[in-house]
C-alpha cells in the first residue's frame, strides 16, 4: 500500500497579509499625496474584500490521495472520486502560466479540481504517475 498524499493550504499566510498591507498603503498614499477621491479608492479596494475575509476566517483548502480515493476541499465545498473511476488526469497550462487540473472519468464526465486546493503541479503530477494514473498535459490552449 502506498503512503497517503496530503496537501493543505491556509489563507492566513504572511504573504496575504503583506499584499493587503501594500495595497491599502498604496490607496491611502494616493488619497494623501495625490488628493485622490476617497470613493474611487474605496472602489479600488473592493476586490480585496474576499482576501480580507479569507484572512479573517482563516479558511483552508486541500487535497489528499488515500484509501483509493482522490479527495479535495475548499471552504465548505468538498468532493471525492475513486481512483479506479479516473481514466486520466488532464493538466492545462493557461496563458497566465497557471495550471488547471481536471479528472477525466471513464464515464466521460470531467471534474475540474478547485485551483485553491491544488498542490504544486509538478509534485502532484509525479505523485499521480507513481500511482499509475495517466497524466495528459495541454499547454496554452485557447479552448
pLDDT tens track, the chain, 143 positions = 568 899 999 888 899 899 999 999 999 999 999 999 999 999 999 999 999 998 899 889 999 999 999 999 998 889 999 999 999 999 999 988 899 999 999 999 999 999 999 999 999 999 999 999 999 999 886 65
Does 91 lie in the same domain as 129?
A: yes
Closest CA to 103 of 62, 94, 116, 118: 118
Does 74 lie in the same domain as 114?
A: yes
Does 123 lie in the same domain as 97?
A: yes
63, 71 contact by CB (below 8 A): yes
| Domain encompassing residue 34 | 10-57
DSSP letter, residue 140: S
Does 65 lie in the same domain as 129?
A: yes
Does 68 lie in the same domain as 47?
A: no
Does 131 lie in the same domain as 67?
A: yes
Task: Give the per-residue pLDDT at 59.
Answer: 85
Does 22 lie in the same domain as 66?
A: no
Does 68 lie in the same domain as 39?
A: no
Does 130 lie in the same domain as 72?
A: yes
Task: Give the per-residue pLDDT at 54.
Answer: 86
Closest CA to 63 of 111, 106, 18, 134: 111
In the chain, the number of structural domains is: 2
Amino acid at each position: 500500500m502506498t503512503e497517503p498524499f496530503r496537501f493543505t493550504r491556509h489563507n492566513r499566510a504572511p504573504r496575504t497579509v503583506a499584499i493587503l498591507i501594500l495595497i491599502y498603503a498604496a490607496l491611502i498614499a494616493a488619497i494623501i499625496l495625490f488628493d485622490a477621491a476617497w470613493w474611487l479608492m474605496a472602489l479600488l479596494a473592493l476586490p480585496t474584500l474576499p482576501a480580507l475575509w479569507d484572512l479573517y476566517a482563516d479558511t483552508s483548502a486541500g487535497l489528499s490521495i488515500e484509501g483509493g480515493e482522490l479527495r479535495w476541499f475548499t471552504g465548505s465545498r468538498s468532493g471525492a472520486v475513486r481512483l479506479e473511476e479516473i481514466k486520466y488526469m488532464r493538466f492545462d497550462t493557461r496563458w497566465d502560466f497557471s495550471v488547471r487540473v481536471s479528472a477525466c472519468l471513464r464515464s466521460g464526465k470531467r471534474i475540474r479540481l478547485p485551483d485553491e486546493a491544488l498542490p504544486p503541479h509538478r509534485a502532484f503530477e509525479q505523485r499521480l504517475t507513481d500511482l499509475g494514473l495517466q497524466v495528459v498535459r495541454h499547454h496554452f490552449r485557447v479552448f
